[in-house]
């Protein structure tokens, strides 16, 4: 699992899981538009089916859409066939709505096993993790906690994980707004995960 990519430049990949969401995803887009940067959204098929226009908007603005499965299951509890189905069904929907296939994958709950790895190998998907798992933004631990645990993980080539889907994400949005402003002032650029992996900075 890839949590960071060695980089000589001040670049960072900020990622969002479990969207799209009609309230929070547009706020993320606004933050990154103002900062002149790009983010990566690991979207769930069930959510994309509900909000297809939001998927298109994210893609049109040049952000990356990664595969996060269709129903967000724990992949280690599925057969290899079911695991493959979850990934392929989501891949097809992303291609249909965004106009291109996803090239990065993050397993729900960061949970996987040997069968999952076999499926990903066949698809040539790199499996993306993150450095700031201690932020626990999905548990709504408070803006200060999210920021403190994330700041500790900021360095060239970091991949950071947040959530724009499921439940109240207002703490996450506030923390990301503050973080992006801070990092911009420090000279960081915000890039997609695949740009980071390919060194296309």
**Cβ-contact 179, 145 below 8 angstroms:** no
**Ordered DSSP codes for 33-61:** HHHT---EEEE-HHHHHH-HHHHHHHHHT
**H-run or E-run covering 172:** helix 170-185
Q: Which residues pair with 116 in a beta bridge?
A: none
E runs forming strands in 108-201:
158-163, 189-190
- Catalytic positions are 17, 163
Give the contacts of 101 (CB within 8 A, at least 6 positions apart): 91, 94, 95
DSSP 153: T
At residue 17, φ and ψ (nearest 5 deg) are -105, 155
**Cβ-contact 41, 58 below 8 angstroms:** yes
């Amino acid at each position: 699992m890839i949590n960071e990519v060695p980089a000589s430049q001040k670049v960072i990949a900020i990622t969002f899981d479990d969207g799209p969401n009609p309230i929070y995803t547009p706020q993320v887009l606004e933050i990154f538009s103002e900062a002149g940067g790009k983010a990566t959204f690991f979207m769930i098929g069930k959510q994309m089916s509900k909000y297809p226009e939001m998927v298109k908007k994210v893609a049109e603005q040049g952000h990356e859409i990664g595969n996060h499965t269709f129903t967000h299951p724990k992949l280690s509890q599925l057969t290899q066939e079911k695991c493959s189905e979850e990934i392929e069904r989501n891949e097809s929907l992303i291609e249909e709505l965004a106009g291109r296939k996803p090239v990065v994958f993050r397993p729900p709950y960061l949970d996987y096993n040997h069968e999952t790895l076999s499926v990903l190998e066949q698809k040539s998907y790199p499996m993306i993790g993150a450095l700031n798992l201690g932020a626990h933004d999905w548990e709504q631990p408070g803006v200060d906690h999210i920021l403190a645990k994330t700041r500790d993980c900021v360095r060239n080539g970091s991949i950071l994980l947040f959530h724009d889907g499921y439940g109240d994400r207002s703490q996450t949005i506030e923390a990301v707004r503050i973080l992006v402003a801070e990092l911009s002032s420090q000279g960081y650029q915000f890039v997609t995960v695949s740009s980071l992996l390919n060194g296309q900075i």
